[in-house]
Chain A
Amino acid sequence: MTEQPQFTIRVDQNKYLPVGGREVHAVLTVEASGPVDNAVPETQAAEVIIVDTSGSMSYGKIAEARKAAQAAVDTLRDGVFFAIVAGTAQAHMIYPPERRLLPSNPQTRQAAKEAISRLQADGGTAMGRWLRLAADLFEPFPGAIKHAILLTDGKNEHQSAEEFDADLAYCTGRFVCDCRGVGTAWVVAELRKVGSALLGNVMDIPNPKDLEADFRAMTQAAMGKAVADVALRVWTPQNATLKFVKQVSPALEDLTARRIPSGPQAGDYPTGSWGGESREYHICVEVPPGVVGQEMRAAWVKLVVPDSGFQLAAGNVLALWSDDLVQSTRINPRVAHYTGQQELAGLIQEGLQARKEGDLELATARLGRARGMAQQSGHGETARLLDKVIDFDPESGTARLKPNVEKADEIALDTRSTRTVRMRKDPES
């Protein structure tokens, strides 16, 4: 078991509540100190690489997509079960030709790369069907760490929204899928929906030449996963309400609706598979008010493998009522940090939506405020992206929408708005 990561949960909160106070906030930092590099995890792994081969992928993009998929294949460890799928209005097996996964070895990797080199761009886009094929390919590997890469350059236009949703529901919980949008014709909201449902990340790749390095890095990260299907199990007191559970780092993801009941007063929130990494979660519990001096466990948070019930780590979120306002009004810096990050992402998304709908006044107000916040919170990357959409005068704090905005810049701002930055340093030990 030495290659299993060691998990820890750290709780940052101000446990003091004012008299009558009910709302408890905490940021949980879950850290897996990973297996040593190159160590072969004991858990079986499976990988499906899905490449959009719709007509719009022709010219430069398909060539770069081939290279990227080949780089991903080269990064697969020996023994990892894998397949290559090409997506149009239907899903097509590229390697192996039949609907199954094959173990990675020098021969199968070579054969897969040859098959990839023959990929041609011609057809439509129905991502749900591609994902459904991946889910079926993973079916014979229930305990494995299952990961897919989805690359697309377009809108999901060859299936209905209902069918797409049904496909996503079918796939949910079966594998983790990281999504990449290349070019400027894809729809951020669609890929975000996939990434959200399948617990993966979403990135924009404006320049197809960057695909190869990105695919290699993504596959490497997938190969580093050592524990599959981990869940955050949250117990709350009777008559308490778990108002939300959100992942806040590395990216924002609201998990509240994912709750799967797991016993009296407890629910599981799936987090996918883990390698050596750290993620942060913001939870908010509304508890029945206690008396001054009384301490309550407002939430008991455990990281578990739901199938076996095996507990990887645990932490307590507490509430302690105090009539000392200095104690109870203090906001924990980590909670404040991520509350600000959520607000920033919300402003950007609302601003971009308003801009799309032609409400320029609202768009200017939201994006201008986001620009000011990004500046203050040290969110340099976001400030830079916002500057491509608005003109911001730091002196007066006034903002004006730019008349001409590159589509790629708008996509980048939208896609990356949910990425958060960590706190620079611990504010207090």
Chain B
Amino acid sequence: MTAVTDTCPHCAYPVLAGESFCEECGRAIHAGAPGACTACGSASLGADGYCGRCGVRQPTGRDHHETVAGNSAGVSDRGRRHSRNEDAMALAEVGDRVMAGVVCDGVSSSPRPDEGSLAAVEAGMATLLKELRSGTGQVDATRAAVARAAAAIAVLGTYDDAPACTYVSAVVAPDQVTIGWVGDSRAYWLGARPTRLTTDDNSGGMLTAWLGADAGEVIPQVSTFEPDGPGVIIVCSDGLWNYLPSAEDMAQAAPDAAVSPLPTAQALVRLANDAGGRDNITVLVIPFEKGSSPK
């Protein structure tokens, strides 16, 4: 017989030396130690991401990540069905009370969609910031950003081997909001009258526009509007909106979005996961406060 040598850190039940899981609460005894396997606590993690003892693949940075910038927040999550997160997001404060956000959803049937969406988001956000900060108008900056994002993902492939993703961006300033998009990721306005701000590039369940080496010339849809009261811009991938398709559904699920953006983003992701998490889930919550342009 083996002697009891320790107690479970979660429930204090006695555990035996060499055991990985608590017999009482079932949780991993050693989980949480730095550099340890998240499932069994072993330190023998392979370079390819699998634990050398229990074989469980370690969550990567993208499996679940959260971001906060200025008054806004975003959460991106792998969901319950996909083995990796092919969505990518970026959120940044452009200047005083001006926010920019980008979400790209990698097309699962394309090769390396996770690399593609990340490249597109990074190029899109970098261009948005550069253009807006150098005084370019919201619409032109949005178009320039889409063009750079399209080029960034296109160079990752060839026509026959093309990583592909959707794209949606929001520029939110006190006097004006500009949305640009390609594909079926969406933006919503949650205010006095909740409104969907995008139309899906989608026909019979198939994307009709996307970014990628096989996409040809990309012409984004761009729209601007001037809200007449306070509200929130939601930017998201279909992993969220499939469960909350209408603007009213979205508004009902996010009642405190304006005052607590991060908890709202977390709650929306949880809602999608609880409903099945069929796809990767990404959501940005960007509050809007009416005012005059800071410039």
Q: Which residues of A contact B (CB under 8 A)?
A: 236-240, 265, 287-288, 290, 292-298, 300, 316, 320, 322-324, 327
Given the contacts A293-B277, A294-B39, A238 and B81 also touching, CB distance less than 8 Å: no
The yes or no answer to B78 lying at the interface (CB within 8 A) is yes
Q: Which chain B residues lie closer than 8 Å to A265 at the CB level? A: 53
Q: Which chain A residues lie closer than 8 Å to B78 at the CB level? A: 293
Q: Which chain B residues lie closer than 8 Å to A290 at the CB level? A: 39, 56
The yes or no answer to B40 lying at the interface (CB within 8 A) is yes
Q: Which chain A residues lie closer than 8 Å to B276 at the CB level? A: 323
- A296, B83: Cβ atoms under 8 Å? no
- B83, A297: Cβ atoms under 8 Å? no
**Closest Cβ neighbor of A321 among chain B residues:** B80
Bound-state Cα–Cα, A188 to B264, Å: 72
Bound-state Cα–Cα, A320 to B80, Å: 10
Q: Which chain B residues lie closer than 8 Å to A324 at the CB level? A: 81, 278
**Closest Cβ neighbor of B63 among chain A residues:** A293
The yes or no answer to B57 lying at the interface (CB within 8 A) is yes
Main secondary structure of the interface of A (DSSP, over half): loop
Q: Which residue of B55, B57, B79, B278 has the most chain A CB atoms within 10 A of its CB atom?
A: B55
The yes or no answer to B20 lying at the interface (CB within 8 A) is yes
- A296, B56: Cβ atoms under 8 Å? yes
- A297, B50: Cβ atoms under 8 Å? yes
Given the contacts A293-B80, A327-B81, A287 and B55 also touching, CB distance less than 8 Å: yes
Which size bracket describes the interface of B in this complex? 10 to 19
Bound-state Cα–Cα, A21 to B79, Å: 20
Q: Which chain A residues lie closer than 8 Å to B253 at the CB level? A: none
**Closest Cβ neighbor of B42 among chain A residues:** A238
17 further contact pairs, Cβ within 8 A, besides A290-B56, A297-B57? A237-B55, A237-B56, A238-B55, A239-B54, A265-B53, A292-B80, A293-B79, A293-B80, A294-B39, A294-B56, A295-B83, A296-B50, A296-B56, A297-B50, A297-B51, A297-B56, A323-B81
- B81, A322: Cβ atoms under 8 Å? yes
Residues B40-80 near A (CB distance < 8 A): 40, 50-51, 53-57, 78-80
- A293, B55: Cβ atoms under 8 Å? no
- B56, A295: Cβ atoms under 8 Å? yes
Bound-state Cα–Cα, A266 to B276, Å: 36
**Closest Cβ neighbor of B20 among chain A residues:** A238
- A295, B57: Cβ atoms under 8 Å? yes
Bound-state Cα–Cα, A320 to B81, Å: 9
- A238, B53: Cβ atoms under 8 Å? yes
Bound-state Cα–Cα, A236 to B50, Å: 12
- A297, B80: Cβ atoms under 8 Å? no
Bound-state Cα–Cα, A166 to B79, Å: 58
Nearest Cβ on chain A to B10's Cβ, whole angstroms: 16
Nearest Cβ on chain A to B58's Cβ, whole angstroms: 10
Bound-state Cα–Cα, A72 to B81, Å: 58
- B54, A237: Cβ atoms under 8 Å? yes
Bound-state Cα–Cα, A324 to B279, Å: 12
Show 13 A/B contacts (Cβ-Cβ < 8 Å), sorted by A.
Answer: A237-B54, A237-B56, A238-B40, A240-B55, A290-B56, A292-B80, A294-B57, A295-B83, A296-B54, A297-B55, A297-B57, A300-B55, A323-B276
Q: Which chain A residues lie closer than 8 Å to B79 at the CB level? A: 293
Bound-state Cα–Cα, A293 to B276, Å: 11
**Closest Cβ neighbor of B53 among chain A residues:** A238
